[in-house]
């Protein structure tokens, strides 16, 4: 009698380092400029350029990276064309993934979609870069943590915003990609009336002078940082507004943004807690405490006052609070 043995099962697809990379996706948020920016003494007493951003979940960027096996790793195409920082980020991420997996890096096609306005200081380039790094890593089955992603972002951009973090308020050394201080779990909730200074004209921060920080500068920034730390600990929107306004006013010594004083006056007249700006762009926000019983009416008055000063209005949104990037 002949015994029939079942056919062996087909081999399963290889996993791990031998898996052929497929398309990957990555998402990244944006921000609405800074709450604080300047020079701060680090733990060793060395002055460091650093900032605290106002993160927002939307608008954001979606990146899709499709590897093309057999092509050289520098053969990256990008849509829309001209996103050179994202292309640099893709190449850097490819090298990082190859080092992690032991597989050779290949070129590919990168597609970016999103609605982060360009050139206003809202983190559009960092959003592109972060989404790209995440998409390339996803295509290769690699997880790159926040610290590694920050280092890649700085190498791609020269300076980066802390969008790769979880939305907690941090003092971030933008040129090194390093967190200098975690200020607390979350910013106090804010209602923000966004606008554009100088009619929306871009700010070429690379062309602006960067004076060396003095002892007085470091002491002033330390006081503002201490105030922001207390605002986070106490969930005090009013104190946060004072810090953001003082930081924005200090920046005007270099930026000299048209309409800043008009926007500051609007904030005072409409019961806002303060103003914040994009230190590397023209975006600004009039900040209101959403816990105030007439917060919506104050924000509406702020929008009308901006229009009376011919300051372009962008949008009204909430920020801060727990899970700001969800």
Distance CA 221, CA 4 (A): 82
Same domain for 115 and 96: yes
Give pLDDT tens digits for 134-183. Answer: 999 999 999 999 999 999 999 999 999 999 987 889 999 999 999 999 99
Phi, psi of 276 (to 5 degrees): -140, 155
Q: Is residue 4 part of a domain?
A: no
CA distances from 231 to 166, 189, 235, 240, 268 (A): 19, 11, 5, 5, 19
What is the total count of domains within the chain?
2
For residues 194 and 282, state if they share a domain. yes
* 279-288 per-residue burial string, b: 16 or more CB within 10 A, e: under 16: bbbbbbbbbb
117 shares a domain with 260: no
Is there a single domain that holds both residue 146 and residue 78?
yes
Residues in the chain: 326
> How does pLDDT run across 270-303, given as a tens digit for each residue?
999 999 999 888 999 999 999 999 999 999 999 9
In a domain, 245, yes or no: yes
195 and 176 in a common domain? no
Q: Please check whether residues 175 and 202 belong to one and the same domain.
A: no
Q: Are residues 46 and 166 in the same domain?
A: yes
Host H or E run for residue 233: helix 215-234
Which strand (E) or helix (H) includes residue 110?
strand 108-114
Output the CA torsion sign for 46, 49, 55, 61. negative
The model's pTM is: 0.89
Do 235 and 305 share a domain, yes or no?
yes
**The domain that contains 298 carries what CATH number?**
3.30.70.890
Q: Please name the residues in contact with 14: beta carbons below 8 A apart, sequence gap of 6 or more.
A: none
| Distances in whole angstroms, Cα of residue 103 to Cα of each of 11, 17, 74, 99 | 21, 6, 15, 8
Q: Which of 180, 199, 216 is the last residue of a domain?
A: 180
For residues 144 and 156, give the distance between their C-alpha atoms in angstroms, rounded to a whole number: 15
Burial of 141 (0-12, 13-18, 19+ CB in 10 A): middle
Task: Point out the domain boundary residue: 155, 180, 205.
Answer: 180
Q: Could you tell me if 24 and 139 lie in one domain? A: yes
Question: Domain of 208?
Answer: 186-319
- Distance CA(39)–CA(250), nearest Å, equals 12
> Which SS3 state, helix, strand or coil, does residue 176 take?
coil
Same domain, 196 and 168: no
Of 151, 180, 209, which residue is a domain's last? 180
202 and 284 together in one domain: yes
Q: With a cut of 90, say whether residue 93 has pLDDT above it.
A: yes
In a domain, 167, yes or no: yes
Following CA atoms 138, 139, 142, 143 in sequence, which dihedral angle do they give, to the nearest 10 degrees? -10
The CATH number covering residue 145 comes to 3.30.230.10
157 and 71 fall within a common domain: yes
For the segment 1-14, what is each residue's pLDDT rounded down to a tens digit?
Answer: 444 444 444 433 33
Structure tokens at 319: 């920020």
pLDDT tens for residues 50-75? Answer: 999 999 989 999 999 999 999 999 99
Residue 15 included in any domain: no
């Amino acid at each position: 009698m002949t015994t029939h043995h079942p056919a062996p099962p087909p081999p399963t697809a290889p996993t791990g380092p031998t898996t052929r990379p497929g398309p990957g996706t990555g998402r990244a948020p944006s921000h609405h400029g800074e709450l604080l920016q300047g020079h701060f003494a680090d733990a060793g007493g060395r002055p460091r350029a650093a900032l605290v951003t106002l993160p927002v979940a939307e608008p954001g960027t979606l990146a899709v990276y499709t590897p093309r096996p057999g092509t050289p790793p520098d053969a990256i195409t990008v849509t829309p064309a001209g996103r050179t920082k994202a292309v640099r980020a893709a190449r850097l991420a490819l090298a990082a993934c190859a080092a992690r997996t032991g597989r050779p890096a290949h070129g590919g096609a990168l597609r970016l979609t999103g609605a982060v306005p360009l050139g206003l200081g809202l983190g559009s380039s960092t959003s592109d870069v972060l989404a790209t790094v995440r998409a390339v890593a996803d295509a290769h089955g690699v997880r790159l943590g926040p610290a590694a992603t920050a280092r890649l972002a700085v190498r791609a951009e020269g300076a980066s915003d802390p969008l790769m973090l979880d939305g907690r308020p941090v003092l971030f050394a933008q040129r090194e990609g390093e967190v200098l201080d975690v200020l607390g779990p979350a910013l106090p909730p804010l209602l923000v009336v966004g606008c554009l200074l100088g009619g929306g004209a871009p700010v070429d921060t690379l062309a602006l002078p960067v004076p060396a920080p003095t002892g007085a500068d470091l002491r002033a920034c330390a006081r503002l940082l201490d105030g922001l730390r207390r605002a986070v600990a106490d969930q005090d929107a009013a104190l946060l507004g004072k810090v953001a306004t003082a930081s924005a006013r200090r920046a005007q010594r270099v930026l000299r943004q048209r309409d800043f004083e008009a926007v500051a006056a609007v904030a005072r007249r409409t019961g806002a807690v303060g103003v914040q700006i994009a230190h590397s762009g023209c975006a600004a926000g009039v900040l209101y405490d959403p816990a105030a019983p007439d917060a919506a009416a104050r924000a509406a008055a702020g929008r009308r006052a901006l229009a009376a000063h011919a300051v372009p209005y962008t949008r009204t949104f909430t920020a801060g609070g727990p899970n700001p990037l969800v």
